[in-house]
Structure 1
Amino acid sequence: MSTLPSSPLGAHARGWVLLTAALSLLPLLLQLPGVLAGVFGATALIVAGLSWHRPAPLLLRLLLVATMLVTIYWQMGATPGRDSGCALLAAMLAIKSSELRTLRDARSLLGFALFAPFAAFLLDQGPITLLLATAAVICALLALQRLADDDAGVTALPPAAQLRTVGKLMLLALPLALSAFWLVPRLGSPLWGIPDRVVSRPGLSDSMEPGAWIDLMADDSPALRAQFFGPVPPADQRYWRGPVLTRFDGRSWTRSNRQQRTAPTAFQAGDVRWDYLIEYEASDDRQLVALDLPLAAPADSQLDADYSLSSNRTLTALTRWRMQSAPPRSFQSQLPERLRQQTLQLPAGFNPRTLALAKQWRTEAGQDDAAIVQRSLEWIHREFAYTLSTPLAGRHGADEFLFDQKAGFCEHFSSAFVVLMRGAGIPARVVTGYAGGVRNRYGDYWVVRKMDAHAWAEVWLAGRGWVRVDPTAAVAPERIYDTLEDRLGQGNAGGLDLAGRWESFKQLGDWMRRGWNTAFLSFDANRQQQLLRPFGIERLTPSQLIALFAGFAVLALGLMAWLLARGERQRDPLLRAWHRLDRRYARLGLGREPYESANDWARRVELSHPGSGLLILSQRFTDARYAGAQFDPVSLLADLHRHRPRPGARP
């Protein structure tokens, strides 16, 4: 069965289609690695330019496909995942315009392009992605309208009129979309598995290796937001505890598998209690943090023997956790022999100078462990500096840091300090997490960024148990040189006013992002139930929610069908505008009678209300609709929409 050939694509319609493809591709490119985004974006521009007048040669298209696949493999490897699948979709869309010749090709490209903004939601659900996706959908509807006009051979409406038509279509769908968002039952996990990401987000891990923290500490995006209910801990207590690392192989620190599987023992809490809510950003793993120390694990999470908190599910989306913490008065005052041996363990053949110094200090201090800890902190304060410009450690990392460089950041300070303590016979371990946070002045909450990632130490002292020691904090302020703020341009080089304004702008943006997270991303089953409580409904089962949604959906679809049918009855925008004008006069008792012509009606109105201006407008309408006169549709439609009854003076 033969099909009719599709009409060729005009230049104006081609421009709309390519603009839609670009807007659809943009939100996806913003979520991909920079190299891939640059290659795909440049390829899309080149292909669109080369294919504007004639299709690209087959050999060139095959070469582009091969180049794209090689680039994806180079950046992401051969492991399938969410971001690699999205990268493949972006690559296909970038070269799709090479086949753009006819109206059928254009419709095919538009349908394919709309997959891109929705795929971007697999990687990010922020407001920027939504705005770009909405712009792509609006542009696609405008392009489809243009293609329909070209296919029918009719003159296209002005862009403003087309935009109004598209806006009405989207408003028609809004009630159904909102009822689906609010009423469709929220599931604990999706019905289908979502693949893991190939390019993982920077975040805390179960190990600490030399140089591995630079990428994490150079990222100023939020890791979590915390809202306190009651007192806020002072700066020296805002340590957000994450993985605790006890095993050391001479180069890397890792967690103890046995400690992760063991339940925590109770600690003696101090008098202060901190009650807070954490909004944890997606991290693609299960690791959580809490203020040092959490009193209990919140629902759907667990604490291990080191008081490190983890989620029972992978954190693929934003999550909210209500917790309480307290500084310990005594934390594991009785140390099990197995754990003592583990936190004294050092591999043979590493850091001989550090071990020799530790033995010397032990001889001089006797059994006074606290004196050795204090002596090391005084040494750091007196001679060491803080900087990110530190060469990668060699075999004897602690020796190089303590005796040669005497400069580094938290990774170096915590690791060398724990090695020194263990060499002196003091049980010690590395604790990783975040330190500090910045208060948002608009929302009265605290933002902890990924660049606030920190590593400190815990030493075990008789009678006190585990005690937090932060050797990095012991560095004298005058020897803090190369910081993260300096590298990110957050210092005062640009002037206090400019820096303050930029920080204020960033805080406003983060406050808006948090509002978005609260309203949409964290709308879970509990909040869905709370939404119905003002209506006297405490709880609905999933089947009841589905029935309620079905009722709203029927109403919404019925409204859509009625409005669309009404529009079909009056497809002429000029006639619709004329009928609206009639209804305005009808409210004053001056509506047009069924037997009256447009001009007769206008004359009657003019007699009773001189100066109304309706007579001139009705003559223009009559000439345009019935006499076939040439007229400016934009001007006449605008005048019909603008016209309002003016009573005037009665004769």
Structure 2
Amino acid sequence: MLSRIDALPRDSRDTLFLLLVIAWIVLPQVANLPVWCVALTGGVLLWRGWLAFSGKPLPGKWWILGLLVVATGATLFTHRTVLGRDAGVTMIVVLLAFKTLELRARRDIFVVFFLGFFTMLTNFFFSQSLLTAAAMLVALLGLLTALVNAHMPVGKPPLRQAAKTAMWMALLGAPVMAVMFVLFPRLAPLWGIPSDAMSGRSGLSATMQVGNIASLVLDESIAMRIQFEGAAPQQSDLYFRGPVLGSFDGREWRAIQLRLGARNVNPLAGPAQLQVSGTPVKYEVTMEANNRPWLMVLDAAIKPPNVPGFETAMTGELLWLTNRPITDLLRYKAESYTNFRHGPGARAALQPDYMEIPLRLNPRTQALALQLSRQPGVAEAGDEAFVDAAMKYLRSGNYRYTLEPGQYGENTADEFWFDKKEGFCEHIASAFAVLMRAGGVPSRVVTGYQGGERNTVDGFWVLRQSDAHAWTEVWLERRGWVRVDPTSAVAPGRIGAFQRLQAPQGVIASALGNMSPGLAANMRAAWEALNNSWNQWVLNYTQSKQLNMLKDLGFESPSWEDLSYVLLGLIVAVSLLGAGWTLWDKREHDPWLRLLQRVRKRLVEAGIELPAAAPPRHMAAAVTARFGDAGRDLASWLLKLESLRYARSSTTSLSALQREFKQMPWPA
């Protein structure tokens, strides 16, 4: 096969290599593109490769026009528009593939190159991970290699030669890239993602249907990383608060105090009435983009998190919000108190939603609440005793913690308490909250993340989407809102000891884990630590970091203008340095000048005084004046040396003049 490719004409070989590079560029996009786009692009690239391999003529313009009409119609059908990120990337991918069918002239291949570079950048709209960056670096070298190869002379130059030149170009450009990355003023995040960029991103929502958090455990992607100052709290205290859900219609829980954006926090939410005690826990969060406006903080933060570029506000349910959705990697500092109390002191101050349940639903749960409330000592002791009785009932009822409890119907609480007796955290929290309300205890469901694991390589705590959790808060007299995690009664290992339900793994991951669980865990920790370094030093290199760097350089109150001045000054300094080096190199390393200096040295040794900058013509006249006819050959050689440098056309080469100089008899 390779011998047949080597026997192909130059254009065919170059085309096959370019198609391979294009396929590599499009490959990371496969999961983000419609199925028809992947099939059409792959089919066109294979078709074009077959045409190049077999030497067949390219299709006519009507073929390409027909394909374009089909692709445009399919894009409109899939995305309902040709604008926006998803539709735009779909169109650019198919246009790149279609353009390979028009490689008839030199300008066509340059259009393909530029489309290839642009398509390569669109990969970062979907992922800015280290793996994506490494793949696109390979794509960049591939495109540069194809570009260099297109400029090489006729014949069949080895691809290795073009690749070497491309790598040298990339290395020369790397310092410029690094300087621009560090100093170019950041007026926006590194990558501005359009509004539809986060569609389909998994994570917590402002609503919860019983069963939808269980799907998050299948997602092992990282939700956020935490770096604590000093010792971390106990794992059982690591509750990171998300949306609080207080409205229940029998099937779905909804937030009642949440609006999109800190500027639109519901004014009816009222103050959180938060009281804290003990020593605060200080930490820094690096949160992945989720297209949501809430900040995950450890329960409970009384001070606003330090979030550069965002406005923040806290709802009456202790949820911190930003003024816009988080569409980029975000790093912020916060401090929290694990010992706290919050909520109104009187039941009359509570919103009615916290006590309402649909009366026609879950009748057996309502009967259970009545049964528990009539137990000896419960009615006299009040709501707190009722909560304890419910937890005791849960612990002793042979309930099971599972990812696959089956489909729940309309009476979700009844099914959990009496029929299925199994569920994930949101099944348990929802059923417990309904039981509380049926017993007259105000309650609500809180969603967020719980636990996490410490990366042994870099020391960061990692919380994944699979750490998503739901728990219950009940309102008690003189205590306010109190966290009650009913999952701990069913599966105590879920809270604190990191005994998570695991999603089914692939064949390779399972085999590696079975052979060496420690090796698999260490490899995962090392890779995630490397990714975290990429996030901290590259993706999260913000304007504030740039200005802090200027402070380290001596600027008292740095600004964008100062950053621009530093960049401009560096550019001027490097330009002057480059110009000086060029002049020095030309003077010191120019072979023509070196040869001229050798002649001058010999003439000075022969007793002829010459200025330091004497040209060959001046030297020839001095030779004729000193040696007469004996110096005729040397004078003629000097004139030819001058002609080589300054004449428009010269038939003599420098190497020939060097040989003549070595063989020339020196006049006495």
Fold agreement, TM-score > 0.5: yes
Counterpart for residue 609 of structure 1: none
Match of 1:469 among 464, 484, 488: 484
CA distance in 1 between partners of 2:181 and 2:502 (Å): 40
CA distance in 1 between partners of 2:522 and 2:529 (Å): 10
CA distance in 2 between partners of 1:74 and 1:469 (Å): 48
Matches for 1:254-265 after TM superposition, within 5 Å: 254-257=254-257, 260-261=266-267, 262=269, 264-265=271-272
Counterpart for residue 274 of structure 1: 281
CA distance in 2 between partners of 1:308 and 1:400 (Å): 31
Partners of 1:386 and 1:408 within 8 A in 2:
yes
Partners of 2:198 and 2:327 within 8 A in 1:
no
Q: Does 1:448 align with 2:463?
A: yes
SS in 2 for 1:298: coil
How many residue pairs match? The answer is: 574
SS in 1 for 2:271: coil
Match of 1:148 among 146, 151, 154: 151
Stretches of structure 2 that go unaligned for 5 or more consecutive residues are 1-8, 259-264, 601-652, 657-668
**Alpha carbons of structure 1 residues 556 and 167: separation in structure 2 relative to 1, 3 Å:** farther
Match of 1:334 among 326, 339, 345: 345
SS in 2 for 1:98: helix
Deviation at 1:375, TM superposition (A): 2.2
Counterpart for residue 633 of structure 1: none
Deviation at 1:432, TM superposition (A): 0.1
Counterpart for residue 418 of structure 2: 403
Matches for 1:164-563 after TM superposition, within 5 Å: 164-188=164-188, 194-197=194-197, 199-257=199-257, 260-261=266-267, 262=269, 264-299=271-306, 300=310, 301-332=312-343, 334-335=345-346, 337-364=348-375, 365-367=378-380, 368-382=382-396, 383-476=398-491, 484-488=501-505, 498-556=516-574
SS in 1 for 2:404: coil
Stretches of structure 1 that go unaligned for 5 or more consecutive residues are 1-7, 571-575, 597-623, 628-651
SS in 2 for 1:257: coil
Moved more, 314-323 or 374-383: 374-383
Moved more, 46-55 or 355-364: 46-55
**Alpha carbons of structure 1 residues 456 and 533: separation in structure 2 relative to 1, 3 Å:** same
The residue identity in structure 2 corresponding to 1:296 is: K
Match of 1:130 among 123, 130, 133: 133
**Alpha carbons of structure 1 residues 96 and 468: separation in structure 2 relative to 1, 3 Å:** same
**Alpha carbons of structure 1 residues 452 and 488: separation in structure 2 relative to 1, 3 Å:** farther
**Alpha carbons of structure 1 residues 59 and 457: separation in structure 2 relative to 1, 3 Å:** farther
Task: Give CA-to-partner distance per residue, 1:27-55, whole Å, 9 cap, x none.
Answer: 4336x158478536633543333442332
Moved more, 515-524 or 49-58: 49-58
**Alpha carbons of structure 1 residues 264 and 217: separation in structure 2 relative to 1, 3 Å:** farther
Deviation at 1:64, TM superposition (A): 4.6
Partners of 1:267 and 1:328 within 8 A in 2:
no
Moved more, 257-266 or 454-463: 257-266
**Alpha carbons of structure 1 residues 244 and 253: separation in structure 2 relative to 1, 3 Å:** same
The residue identity in structure 1 corresponding to 2:316 is: A
Moved more, 278-287 or 139-148: 139-148
SS in 1 for 2:195: coil
CA distance in 2 between partners of 1:170 and 1:566 (Å): 25
The residue identity in structure 1 corresponding to 2:390 is: S
CA distance in 1 between partners of 2:67 and 2:501 (Å): 40
SS in 2 for 1:343: helix
**Alpha carbons of structure 1 residues 180 and 329: separation in structure 2 relative to 1, 3 Å:** closer
The residue identity in structure 2 corresponding to 1:366 is: A
Deviation at 1:453, TM superposition (A): 0.6
Moved more, 8-17 or 352-361: 8-17
Root-mean-square deviation (Å)? 3.7
Deviation at 1:502, TM superposition (A): 1.2
SS in 1 for 2:428: helix
**Alpha carbons of structure 1 residues 83 and 433: separation in structure 2 relative to 1, 3 Å:** same
**Alpha carbons of structure 1 residues 165 and 336: separation in structure 2 relative to 1, 3 Å:** same
Partners of 1:277 and 1:320 within 8 A in 2:
yes
Deviation at 1:553, TM superposition (A): 2.8
SS in 1 for 2:449: strand
The residue identity in structure 2 corresponding to 1:106 is: I
SS in 2 for 1:113: helix
Larger gyration radius, structure 1 or structure 2: 2
Matches for 1:493-642 after TM superposition, within 5 Å: 498-556=516-574, 594-595=598-599
Partners of 1:218 and 1:484 within 8 A in 2:
no
TM-score, normalising length: structure 2: 0.77
CA distance in 1 between partners of 2:250 and 2:477 (Å): 27
**Alpha carbons of structure 1 residues 375 and 79: separation in structure 2 relative to 1, 3 Å:** farther
Counterpart for residue 647 of structure 2: none
SS in 1 for 2:333: strand
Deviation at 1:496, TM superposition (A): 5.9
Partners of 1:81 and 1:198 within 8 A in 2:
no
The residue identity in structure 1 corresponding to 2:445 is: V
Partners of 1:176 and 1:552 within 8 A in 2:
no
Counterpart for residue 17 of structure 1: 18
Q: Does 1:99 align with 2:99?
A: no
SS in 1 for 2:374: helix
The residue identity in structure 2 corresponding to 1:344 is: M
The residue identity in structure 2 corresponding to 1:147 is: A
SS in 1 for 2:125: coil
Deviation at 1:378, TM superposition (A): 2.3
The residue identity in structure 2 corresponding to 1:96 is: K
Deviation at 1:209, TM superposition (A): 1.2
Partners of 2:125 and 2:191 within 8 A in 1:
no
Task: Give CA-to-partner distance per residue, 1:147-198, whole Å, 9 cap, x none.
Answer: 1225xx3x56544443343233333333432332222222256998833326
TM-score, normalising length: structure 1: 0.79
SS in 2 for 1:90: helix
Partners of 1:149 and 1:156 within 8 A in 2:
no
Deviation at 1:95, TM superposition (A): 3.5
Counterpart for residue 86 of structure 1: 89
Give identity over the alignment, percent.
Answer: 31
CA distance in 1 between partners of 2:78 and 2:461 (Å): 35
Counterpart for residue 618 of structure 1: none
The residue identity in structure 1 corresponding to 2:147 is: L
Task: Give CA-to-partner distance per residue, 1:203-223, whole Å, 9 cap, x none.
Answer: 111100133324422110100
Deviation at 1:405, TM superposition (A): 0.6
CA distance in 2 between partners of 1:392 and 1:625 (Å): 87
Moved more, 252-261 or 196-205: 252-261
Deviation at 1:472, TM superposition (A): 1.4
